[in-house]
Copies of this chain bind each other. A is one copy, B any other.
Amino acid sequence: MIASREIRITLPTWVGGFLSGWPEIFADDPTAMGLAVALARENVRQGGGPFGAVLLETASGRLAGVGINQVVASHCSLAHAELVAIGSAQQALGGYDLSQIVPGGGTLVSSAEPCAMCLGAIPWAGIGRLVCGARDQDARAAGFDEGDKPADWALAYARRGIAVTRDCLRAPAAAVLADYADSGGVIYGPRPG
């Protein structure tokens, strides 16, 4: 039985129509973050979690992938927005190291600072830039556990050649989290208190 098992996380059908209103090339970080935050907000409306992510080809700004939090719907704790964007883009492009297959490597634009799992995943994916919207404390204020991160993960990233930009559209990004908490959304995670 176990032999035939798999992990399968599919972007919901609404994403297609949603993306048709956005460009294929993103000229700057705030525009890309606008999409990440809009995906997070629409995902909540569709019954998902309040996180969105956008993956760009760094050199061109071309959209390479998107992700939303699908933990509850996909029955899979790995289905954070960042990992969905990374894994689906890698498989569509046919390679596990974006730094080798995408011009200039990959830029990940996340509506919130990544949790410990996603922070650990980003260097393995060949991502050279990370752009964050809401801060860690905004996610925690909404009730989400961000996990045990290295004390200065941005410095550790710098040592690996991964640039970090924070607070891009922080206010609207944080508002998605606060609105979700105010509306009584499920705070999925281990042993919810």
**Taking beta carbons and an 8 Å cutoff, which residues of A are in contact with B?**
1-11, 13, 15-17, 19, 63, 65-66, 71-72, 74-79, 83-84, 86-97, 99, 115-121, 123-126, 145, 147-151, 153, 156-157, 160-161, 188-191
Complex contact A8–B7 (CB within 8 A): yes
**Residues in B neighbouring A117, C-beta threshold 8 A:** 117, 120-121, 124
- When C-beta atoms are compared, the residue in chain B nearest to A13 turns out to be B3
Q: In the bound complex, how far is the Cα of B95 from the Cα of A188, in angstroms?
A: 11
Docked-complex contact A119 and B116, CB < 8 angstroms:
yes
Q: Which of B75, B96, B99, B189 interacts with A90 by CB under 8 Å? A: B75
A23 to B134, CA, bound (A): 47
**A-side interface mostly:** mixed
Closest 7 CB pairs of A and B: A3-B16, A117-B120, A116-B120, A7-B87, A6-B10, A5-B88, A148-B156
- What is the minimal beta-carbon distance from A104 to any residue of chain B, in angstroms? 13
- Find A6's partner among B8, B19, B121 (CB 8 Å cutoff): B8
Name the contact of A119 in the complex, choosing from B5, B93, B95, B120 (C-beta under 8 A). Answer: B120
